[in-house]
Structure 1
Amino acid sequence: MRQTWRWFGPKDLCSIDDITQVGAVGVVSALHHVPNGAVWTPEEIAKRHAEIGTRKDGTPSGLTWDVVESLPVSEDIKKQKDGWSEHIENYKVSMKNLADSGIEVICYNFMPVLDWTRTDLRWNVPNGGSCMRFDINDFAAFDIHVLQRRGAATDYTNAIADEAERRFANMDDAARKQLARNVTMGLPGSTESMTLEDVQSHLDEYGAITRERLRANFVDFLDAVVPTAEDLGLRLCCHPDDPPFALLGLPRVMSTEADYKYILDAVESPANGMTLCSGSLGARPDNDLPGMMERLGDKVHFLHLRNVKRDNDDIVGSFYEAEHLAGDTDMVALIAAVVREEKKRKAAGRKDHIIPMRPDHGQDILDDLGRRSQPGYPTIGRMKGLAELRGVMMALEHEELGLR
Structure 2
Amino acid sequence: MIQLSEFLPPRPEESWKLIRQVGVDNVVGVLNGAEQDQRMFASVGAGGWTADDRDEVPWSEAAIAHNLATYADHGFTLVALEDTAPIDKARLGLDGRDEQIDNVIAQVRAMGRLGIPTLAYNWMGLSSWGRTDIAIADRGGALVTGYDRATAQAGEPLVEPGRVTREQMWAGLEYFLAAIVPVAEEVGVRLAMHPDDPPQPVDRNLPRIMSSVESFRRLLSLQPSESNGITFCQGNFALMPEVIDGATSIPDLIREFGTEGIPFVHFRDVKGNVDRFQETFHDAGQTDMPACMDAYYEIGFEGAMRPDHVPTLAGEGNARPGYETLGRLFAIGYIRGLEHAAYGHPMTRS
| TM class, shorter-length | 0.7 to 0.9
Amino acid in structure 1 at the alignment position of 2:238: G
Structure 1, residues 99-152: CA drift from partner, whole Å, max 9, x if none?
Answer: 111111000001122221000122222411101110223224x33xxx2x5xxx
Q: 1:72 to 1:301 in 2, by over 3 A?
A: farther
Q: Is the 8 A contact 2:212 2:237 kept in 1?
A: yes
Q: Distance in 1 between matches of 2:205 and 2:322?
A: 26
Compare CA radii of gyration and give the structure with the larger one. Answer: 1
Q: Distance in 1 between matches of 2:331 and 2:35?
A: 32
Amino acid in structure 1 at the alignment position of 2:263: H
Q: Distance in 1 between matches of 2:322 and 2:10?
A: 16
1:291 aligns with 2:272: no
What residue is the counterpart of 2:143 in the other structure?
A: 130
1:379 deviates by 1.1
Q: Distance in 2 between matches of 1:300 and 1:391?
A: 21
Q: Distance in 2 between matches of 1:282 and 1:10?
A: 32
Structure 1, residues 74-99: CA drift from partner, whole Å, max 9, x if none?
Answer: 11111121111111111101111121
What residue is the counterpart of 2:6 in the other structure?
A: 5
RMSD: 2.3
Matched residue of 1:293: which SS? helix
Q: Distance in 2 between matches of 1:83 and 1:329?
A: 41
After TM superposition, the score normalised by the length of structure 2 is 0.85
Number of residues paired by the alignment? 321
Identity %: 30
Q: 1:241 to 1:34 in 2, by over 3 A?
A: closer
Matched residue of 1:231: which SS? helix
Q: What is the 5 A alignment of 1:48-63? A: 48-55=67-74, 61=75, 63=76
Matched residue of 2:333: which SS? helix
Q: Distance in 2 between matches of 1:268 and 1:374?
A: 37
Q: Distance in 1 between matches of 2:149 and 2:30?
A: 30
Q: Is the 8 A contact 1:39 1:93 kept in 2?
A: no
What residue is the counterpart of 2:42 in the other structure?
A: none
Which stretches in structure 2 are left out of the alignment for 5+ residues?
39-56, 244-248
Structure 1, residues 285-328: CA drift from partner, whole Å, max 9, x if none?
Answer: 63221111111123100000001011xx5xx4111001112111
Amino acid in structure 1 at the alignment position of 2:229: G
What residue is the counterpart of 1:45 in the other structure?
A: 64
Amino acid in structure 1 at the alignment position of 2:254: M
What residue is the counterpart of 1:398 in the other structure?
A: 344
Amino acid in structure 2 at the alignment position of 1:20: R
1:332 aligns with 2:290: yes
After TM superposition, the score normalised by the length of structure 1 is 0.75
Which stretches in structure 1 are left out of the alignment for 5+ residues?
56-60, 150-198, 343-352
Q: What is the 5 A alignment of 1:321-400? A: 321-342=279-300, 354-367=302-315, 369-370=316-317, 372-398=318-344
1:17 aligns with 2:36: no
Q: Is the 8 A contact 1:116 1:243 kept in 2?
A: yes
Q: Is the 8 A contact 2:34 2:85 kept in 1?
A: no
Matched residue of 2:102: which SS? helix
Q: Distance in 2 between matches of 1:73 and 1:260?
A: 22
What residue is the counterpart of 2:117 in the other structure?
A: 104
What residue is the counterpart of 1:243 in the other structure?
A: 198
